[in-house]
Amino acid sequence: MSLQLASLFQDHAVLQRDQTLPVWGRASAGARVRVTLADNTAVTIANTQGDFLVRLPALPAGGPHTLAVSIEGSDERVEVRDLLVGEVWLASGQSNMEMKLAGCRPLTDSDIASADFPAIRFFNVANRAHLGPQRTVEGNWRASTPGTVGSFSAAAFSFARRLHRELGVPIGIISSSWGGSIIQSWLSRSALALNPEAAPWLERYESQVWTSEHWDQMSSPGPDGRVNGAPKDPGNTAVARGWHQPDFNDSGWPVMPVPGTWQSAGHRHSGVYWFRRTVEIPAAWAGRDLHLHFGGIDKQDITYVNGVEVGRTGKDREDQYWNVPRRYTVPASAVTGRSLHIAVRVYSFIYDGGMIGADNDLRIAPADAAGSSCPLAGAWRYQCEHNLGLVTETHLMGHGERNSPHILFDNMLQPLVPYALRGVIWYQGEGNTSQAPLYTRFMRDLVLDWRAQWGRADLAFHTVQLPGFQAAREHQPDSNWARLREAQADTLSLPHTGIAVTIDLGEAGDIHPKNKIPVGERLAQSALARTYARNLTPNGPLFESVVFSGGIARCRFKDTGAGLATTDGQAPRLFFICGVDREFHPAHARIDGNDVVVSLPAISQPTAVRYAWADNPEGCNLANLDGLPASPFRTDRW
């Protein structure tokens, strides 16, 4: 067996400062392995399976260094160059952590152009969901440059940029996320087996996942035509009807603002939609290659200009392309006049679907960059080609299905252990809102499980609390999103944890809100305060206690910094109060120091208070003087 290092040990990697540094890999059984980094050398012997691991002494921030690994008595040698030592964080979760900076908004060309940070480096772990524990991951370390940063997680990049600026050391981000994933897929098998709520599900899964019958089901369509619960594209039937042609009459089609999803336009199903628009271009563009930019399209597309296919992204039921920016070249031969007829076929087999890139990502311009671009955001004609029904989850588990028990842990996390880390930033929960009552235990399991895997009780863990989503409401007694936010806040009972409150950063019609820069900034604020002991307010106000007396409820808050405030200078909104009948009513609220005093004359004996308790409590305005919003809360646990 030739000498191999674990996946993360590649040129340009960032190593964690001030911690012993595990280095591991594979060699021939019994081989004597020598590992050298800076002025430190360690020697070990590969075991009977060929695995080896050493732990080198801690290093201060700095570099560049070279890691040299060799087999004594042979010519086998591996060198890994340009290693920096600084702070290393794992960024994980589902699509909102996965969302690339290029799909973020507001975003200007200068945001990308200024992203030249040689000491901020990302390792993007490729998505994989294979049965059984894996040894390796695919990916490579890349430094932040204007040419690379667009493919980095927007939230994680914003987090890394602030840490880099304030700590003055290299920052490494290992980005391992997958859109639509549930928390159970990120937990180890042991953690699931020890959770009484998850163990029966795990047992059912294991009773069938390796059977021949199950593999047949995974690969064969069911009676509804679905494979593994996801509807297959029925085929491009609209081309035969000329929907891609410039002379097709689409005047009877409805109009939708783009960017947007067809779900936000009232079409609550998955399927295939066509979007069409005619734009006038400068006469000087005729006969020249053009670049067509779309930003993200959820999830796959085929794009035509003047009847010519100019590009397509995605195949089968792959969903990793939902926020990947598109840039297609329109050949000069298709640019024959002043009008461009653009037709886009969008296929989404689960969750939302549509053209979702930021406004300034929707444009067309000459490929040689000579001349200004033509914006494409605005009203587009649209029509449904295939209605595939409302799909929010798949029903079969196993090979290839990201939401199988522990499958993402096996594929996208375990191969990273025990690479030295400072901590984790975690943005997930949308996939578990139907299981909100169980999420407190799942979150606790996740934190303790990962700390056990890395063997670090102080592994920091900072969570993004979900923003608002769906129709704006002032109060929803049974809001699953509110209960899941509560479960995320409950994680703060564990040491070395933090939270980024983002209730103000949501979008009613999009589960993937585009403004991710403040998300990363707030994660960094939490880490700087709680992990690095900087004198900062870690997050927005958090409910601490309540006292009911004399017909009022006095709610005490912590993490108020210089004091409580409202974002608009008005009285606090979206406070609700109830009496012994447990019927909640809008209440009067006023700030009094670190307290909010809540009352309603009609309720003489209040028994509970809720604030911003809804899926999307638009208009909530309580914050601290640092401008960080208060976390939604309830004083009851009914």
**DSSP 8-state symbol, 573:** -
**Mean predicted confidence (pLDDT) in 102-113:** 80
Task: Give the containing element (helix H, strand E) for 83.
Answer: strand 77-93
Res. 218: pLDDT tops 70: no
Q: Cα-flanking dihedrals φ and ψ of residue 444, to 5°? A: -60, -45
First to last CA, the chain: 60
Sign of CA dihedral 463, 464, 469, 475: positive
Sign of CA dihedral 157, 158, 163, 169: positive
Pairwise CA distance, residues 84 & 361, whole Å? 34
Q: Cβ atoms within 10 A of the Cβ of 355, count?
A: 27
287 conformational bin, left if phi > 0, alpha if psi -120 to 50, beta if neither: left
Res. 201: pLDDT tops 70: yes
- Class of residue 589 by CB neighbours under 10 A (exposed 0-12, middle 13-18, buried 19+): buried
Res. 41: pLDDT tops 70: yes
3-state secondary structure of 310: strand
Pairwise CA distance, residues 218 & 215, whole Å? 5
Angle between helices 480-490 and 436-454 (to 10 degrees): 30
Structure-token pair, residue 98: 């996965």
**Mean predicted confidence (pLDDT) in 199-228:** 74
DSSP secondary structure letters along 163-221: HHHHH-S-EEEEEEE-TT--GGGGS-HHHHHT-TTTHHHHHHHHHHTTSHHHHHHHHS-
The strand pair at 14-16 and 40-45 is best described as unpaired
Structure-token pair, residue 93: 């979760």
Q: Cβ atoms within 10 A of the Cβ of 78, count?
A: 17
The strand pair at 633-634 and 608-611 is best described as antiparallel
Q: Cα-flanking dihedrals φ and ψ of residue 577, to 5°? A: -135, 155
Residues 6+ apart with CB under 8 A from 78: 3, 4, 5, 68, 69, 70
DSSP secondary structure letters along 470-537: SS--S--TT-HHHHHHHHHHHGGGSTTEEEEE-TTS-BTTBSS-S--HHHHHHHHHHHHHHTS--SS-
pLDDT value of position 186: 98
Of residues 604, 482, 460, 467, the one with CA closest to residue 543 = 482
pLDDT value of position 107: 77
DSSP secondary structure letters along 26-76: E-STT-EEEEEETTEEEEEE--TTSEEEEEEPP--SEEEEEEEEEETTSS-
Is residue 426 within 8 A of residue 92, CB to CB? The reply is yes
Q: Which residue has the higher pLDDT, 100 or 324?
A: 100
* pLDDT tens-digit readout, 586-601: 999 999 999 999 999 9
Res. 468: pLDDT tops 90: yes
Res. 220: pLDDT tops 60: no
Q: Which residue has the higher pLDDT, 439 or 265?
A: 439
Pairwise CA distance, residues 382 & 342, whole Å? 12
E-strand ranges in 350-389 read 354-355, 363-366, 374-375, 378-387
Q: CA-based Rg of the chain, rounded to a whole angstrom?
A: 26
pLDDT value of position 357: 74
Q: Chain-centre distance of CA 488, in angstroms?
A: 15
* pLDDT tens-digit readout, 518-574: 999 999 999 999 999 999 999 999 999 999 999 999 999 999 999 999 999 999 999
- Alpha carbon dihedral 629, 632, 633, 634, in 10-degree steps, equals 130
**Mean predicted confidence (pLDDT) in 219-234:** 63
Of residues 542, 550, 565, 545, the one with CA closest to residue 599 = 550
pLDDT value of position 318: 66
pLDDT value of position 396: 62
pLDDT value of position 582: 96
Is residue 413 within 8 A of residue 186, CB to CB? The reply is yes
Q: Which residue has the higher pLDDT, 102 or 418?
A: 418
Beta bridge mates, 23: 54
Of residues 113, 198, 200, the one with CA closest to residue 148 = 113
* pLDDT tens-digit readout, 474-512: 999 999 999 999 999 999 999 999 999 999 999 887 888
Mean pLDDT of all residues belonging to the chain: 93
Q: Cβ atoms within 10 A of the Cβ of 77, count?
A: 11
Pairwise CA distance, residues 165 & 156, whole Å? 14
Pairwise CA distance, residues 517 & 521, whole Å? 6
